[in-house]
Chain A
Amino acid sequence: MNEQAINKDLKIVSFKGGVHPQKDGKILSKKASIQTAPLLERYQVIVSQNIGAPPKVVVSAGDEVKKGQLLAEAAGFVSVPLHSPTSGKVEGLVDIPGPMGVMTQAISILADGKDEWTELSVSIDWRNSDADTLKKRIMECGIVGMGGAAFPSHVKLSPPPDKKVDYMIINGAECEPYLTADHRVMLEEPEKVLEGAAILGRAAGVKNVVVAVEINKVDAINAMMEKAAQFNVGIVGMKVQYPQGAEKQLIYAVTRRKVPTGALPADVGCIVQNAGTAAAVAEAVNAGIPLIERVTTITGEPVVNPGNWRLRLGTPISEALKLCGGVKCEPGKLILGGPMMGFAQRSTGVSVMKNTSGILLLDKSDVTQYESSPCIRCGRCLEACPMNLQPSALSQLAEAGQYENALKYNVMDCIECGACAFACPAHRPLVQHIRRLKAEIRNRTKKEIKK
């Protein structure tokens, strides 16, 4: 099949800086249509799946649950509930390896094989309902940012009343190499994404709703452009450049507005939501289906059949890999998320969460051993940094432990996108150095506040 041509009416925008990985790995899985994973015997749903307060578990061992039934309820405003991925029996709380490497609490559910739905909330006629109803439904269905951060969506939709929001941007950039989950969703379910976008726009009281997509997904763009008018949603193309989908960069590319240091997108009148989130919102509002499954890319050179799978929350990585036929050779790295910002894992016992956009295995030959050559001040990192920082200087300050000076180089503005460390010819661990600076500075300010 030939690549489709880009529609001439498409506006193509970009930001300043960034990198463009030559080998982006999307070819492995971008042609594989979404498959639904078969029912498993057991799911281990990690309790803390969203940024903010972890939800409060409301089931206990021995309870019978139905598919979509509440497992844990929101604990506070910045928190969302959690629902059961299938019907069956709660085995209890277990400790499983978490995505950050430390053990974390999960609810283990033994499936009964019937996969029966619980009684779902009724459909909402979103075109004629008010914003609060929509926000409430989005919260109740446990919807979070599915691009990676897992920030509760209803919180984003409720900016402080003094901030006037006039732009809703749906992030379909998927700028991370290897990942194709959002691509497939936009291509196969353009109506869902567009409808979700329109619902999100209504919930935030915004007229301008655009879906921004990198132009390496021409088929998805064309599919959506056909339907866009009926939902009154605009489509914007973006140059293929990492990190095009980072919130601040995306807003700048689409609206030319710069989110000031330390401010939120709402300060410049924008709200950004992920394309996968939009699709989940459409399901939640139209059918009352809570967020219990998501499309995840399982890919990497060692994977036998890379593809895009609709996986339920709590699916162990090892089971997910089995769906793809396992591995050809022992991989060098297991990453949750993309290769630029994803987290390396130490075991396959981790389970799929609401923000698991990808399960990536890297070949041993791609896992470069860390060798710190000295900085030769070539300036590649300065060119790559989308935030216009000086990573080379920050890295040296981290090595010298000069935290105060690092603040003068605006270390806290770093979005940890990894473009600098990707581009560094000396292969310096720039991002790790900057993370350390940020962690140390946060600790210090905390201590000062305590005093």
Chain B
Amino acid sequence: MSEEIKKEIMLPKGEELVLSSSPHIHVTENIQSIMLKVVLAMLPALAAAIWFFGIPALLVIFWCVLFCLVLEIIWCRIAGKPASVVKDGSALVTGLLLAMNLPPVTAWWVCLLGALLAIWLGKQVFGGLGQNPFNPAAVARVGLLIALPRQLTYWIPSSGMTADAANYSEVFYAAADFTKIEQAGQVIDGITCATPLSIAQNTPKILDSGVAAADNFAAIANPESYWQYFIGNMGGSLGETSTLAILIGGIILLSFKLIRWQIPLFYLGTVAVFTGLIHLIWPGVTPPPLFHLLTGGLMLAAFFMATDMVTSPITGRGAAIFGIGLGVMTCVIRIWGGFPEGVSFSILLMNALVPLIERMAKLKPFGFRKPTPAKGA
């Protein structure tokens, strides 16, 4: 009987055993799945963009993603890295983020330039994924804004804002090639529209606190307009308008633990408090905090841009400091700066400070006690 059993028993030969350091099991999550979850979180905002800005927005998204992926592969070829690196999905995320930061009508070559700035200058020159100090999409946005201010501030009204909704897509599709904008302008009236923030920027500031000061921003900051801002029916970059869609995405990000909750909380909180104070003292200088929270790129930045894992502090305390810094900087630029919007600038500036913040906000180990200087005894 024992003979029989012995025949059946197979023992490991030991030649194919792998030696490695513990632990020997791992989570199934990997970088690719993380990036895909981020993409999932972006989908509501992208859908809102297409809903409000139609085909031109879709076109911009397409160009940005395409160029980002292609440029990533080209760089990998040149630098001798395996081109399969592109599979990690980070270029896809950068492409989508870049698109969300561009006006709904953007020519293909602007997208190409943006992708170049984002992938090559923003990411690969530093050594690729994980090594870049600055958010690639913010680098591209700021670079384009400085190089091509006209193209980057060419805002179109959303489809909900024009009377001629039927022809909307057709007209702006023609405008997608930037050279034909003049022609498009003849077809439809009011081809450009100002963003609420640029209206606020251009409204003369009233320093004393009279009735005129209180009413200074009434046209753009009232309950009805707030609702429009919330659902996203306003001019602006294609991914930043709909607060609702971004909040849905934000909840997805938070539930997958893809972002540190401290960043949006402290960023938005600081903006609310800061603008609230200024509005309380000089109501004629800046609109109320709710206006600031709902307009411009703040929501997009707070949930998608500033929270980029690579370029934000890794510790909770660091993330809180980072959020507060972002909030202060954004408010200062919005209220007193030369640009109507300041989120991209503040992200880049705070990105530069991340190593410093991380030094300040190092974690204290479990059971930490200050080393006692006393020696001997």
Contacts and interface: CB of A to CB of B under 8 A. Distances in A.
Interface stretch (B25-33, B137-145, B233-241, B338-346): B25-33
A199 B129 CA distance: 57
A318 B26 contact: no
B161 interface: no
Contacts, number: 188
Given A340-B25, A422-B23, A423-B27, A261 B130 contact: no
Contact of B18 (A326, A328, A344, A377): A344
A351 interface: no
B14 A260 contact: no
A274 B14 CA distance: 31
Contact of B11 (A318, A333, A431): A318
Interface centre among B16, B364, B366 (most CB of A within 10 A): B366
B3 to A, nearest CB: 13
B30 A261 contact: no
Question: Counting chain B CB atoms within 10 Å of each CB, which of A330, A362, A376 scores highest?
Answer: A376
Given A348-B11, A374-B129, A421 B367 contact: no
Contacts of A258: 366-367
A347 B367 contact: no
A376 B23 contact: no
Contacts of A366: 24-25
A416 B21 CA distance: 10
A367 interface: yes
Nearest to B130: A374
Interface in B162-205: none
Interface residues of A, number: 80
B18 A367 contact: yes
A387 interface: yes
Contacts of B12: 302, 321, 327, 330-331, 334, 348, 361
A71 to B, nearest CB: 28
A348 to B, nearest CB: 5
Interface stretch (B283-291, B307-315, B321-329): B307-315
B362 A390 contact: yes
A18 B215 CA distance: 55
Specify the main secondary structure of chain A where it touches its partner: loop
B14 A431 contact: no
Nearest to B32: A425
A445 interface: no
A263 interface: yes
Interface stretch (A183-191, A206-214, A224-232, A378-386): A378-386
A418 B17 contact: no
B130 A375 contact: yes
B14 A334 contact: yes
B30 A426 contact: yes
Contacts of B31: 373, 376, 425-426
A259 B367 contact: yes
Given A326-B9, A382-B363, A388-B363, A347 B14 contact: yes
22 contacts: A261-B367, A322-B9, A322-B11, A327-B10, A332-B18, A333-B20, A333-B24, A341-B23, A344-B18, A347-B14, A367-B18, A377-B310, A378-B258, A388-B368, A393-B314, A393-B358, A413-B366, A421-B26, A426-B31, A431-B23, A432-B20, A435-B21
Interface of B: 8-14, 16-27, 29-31, 33-34, 88, 90, 127-131, 257-258, 260, 309-310, 312, 314-315, 358, 362-369
